[in-house]
Amino acid sequence: MKNLLKLRKRMKKKKPEFRRQESFRQKRLGSKWRRPRGRHSKLRIERKTRGRIPKPSYSSPKAVRGLNREGYREVRVFSPGDLKGIDPKKEAVVIGGSVGGAKREAIIERAKALKLRVSNL
């Protein structure tokens, strides 16, 4: 598992930044990826200088897909009651952003009692 996490880290360093076609021309397009669908599109045809298209070869190993850096699957929690079915060996807790201070403290206390890992303290 640790070897796969290291491999994923190395692979992601090599992965290019996939940009939307013509995003450098118009600011309103943004650089968020959209698949080129034009009939004469050079990016769709994959001309060398036009950039890269996401492909399965850029993806991380299947065993570590969706895991955080430490190798745990992250579970979002909004109340202390949500901590019930979480497996401490495989999953880590992420407290939701809309949770206030008092409830956040209650979630942290309960997580410590259940020996759960909290990612965003």
Residue 121 banded pLDDT, cuts 50, 70, 90: confident
pLDDT at residue 3 in the model: 94
121 in a structural domain: no
Please state, in angstroms and as integers, the Cα–Cα distance from residue 55 to each residue in 35, 83, 99, following that order. Answer: 11, 36, 37
The pLDDT, as a whole number, for residue 116 is: 95
Q: Residue 51 domain-assigned? A: yes
Q: How many domains does the chain fold into?
A: 2
The fraction of the chain above a pLDDT of 70, given in percent, is: 100
Residues 6+ apart with CB under 8 A from 39: none
- Burial of 53 per CB tally in 10 Å (0-12, 13-18, 19+): middle
Q: Which residues contact 56 (CB under 8 A, 6 or more apart)?
A: none
Residue 93: which domain range? 73-113
- 68 falls within a domain: no
DSSP labels, 9-49: HHHHHHPPPP--TTTTT-GGG-S-------TT-HHHHT-GG
Average pLDDT, the chain: 94
Whose tokens are 């401490």? That residue is: 88
Q: Are residues 6 and 57 in the same domain?
A: yes
